[in-house]
Structure 1
Amino acid sequence: MIAPPAVVGNWRVEATRFVPDASVLVHHGPNRAKGDKLKNAVAKHDFVITTYGTAVEILTSSKKFNGQR
C-alpha cells in the first residue's frame, strides 16, 4: 500500500484494526530494510505500507528496473 508520509501510521493502525491476524510491515524511514533484507521482510508480512517516494527509490535503485513505466 502506498500512502502519504503523514498517514502511514494511521494506515498501520487501521490495517491491524480491520485485519487483526495480518502482519503489517511499515517500510518507511531512515532505518528501513534494503536489498535482501527487504525481500525477506516483505515475504514475512501480509501487508506492506510505504510512501510514494520510498517506492520510487526502490524501483529506481533496483538492478531489475529498466526505465519503463
Structure 2
Amino acid sequence: MNIFLQGEIEMNLEFLRQTYCNLTYEQFCQRCGFTESQYAIDKFVIFKRAMEGILSFDSETLANLFGE
C-alpha cells in the first residue's frame, strides 16, 4: 500500500466530507449552473448518494483500489 496515496485520499475524503455536509441544493445549482428544476433535484440526489457511497469507504481501501 502506498502511504503517500493513502494520505492524499484522506485529505480528499475530508474535503468531500466538508463539501458534502455543507452544500445546499441552492449552492449545488449555482456551482453546476443549473436552474432549480426537477432535473437539478434529480442530479442533487445522485450527487448526495454518490458522496455517501464514496465516504463509506476508508482511506486504506481506496488507496488499495486506486494505487499501483
Normalised to the residue count of structure 1, the TM-score between the two structures is: 0.30
* Structure with greater helix share of residues: 2
When Rg is computed on C-alpha atoms for both structures, the one with the higher figure is: 2
* Structure with greater strand share of residues: 1
Higher relative contact order (CA 8 A, sep 6+): 2
Normalised to the residue count of structure 2, the TM-score between the two structures is: 0.30
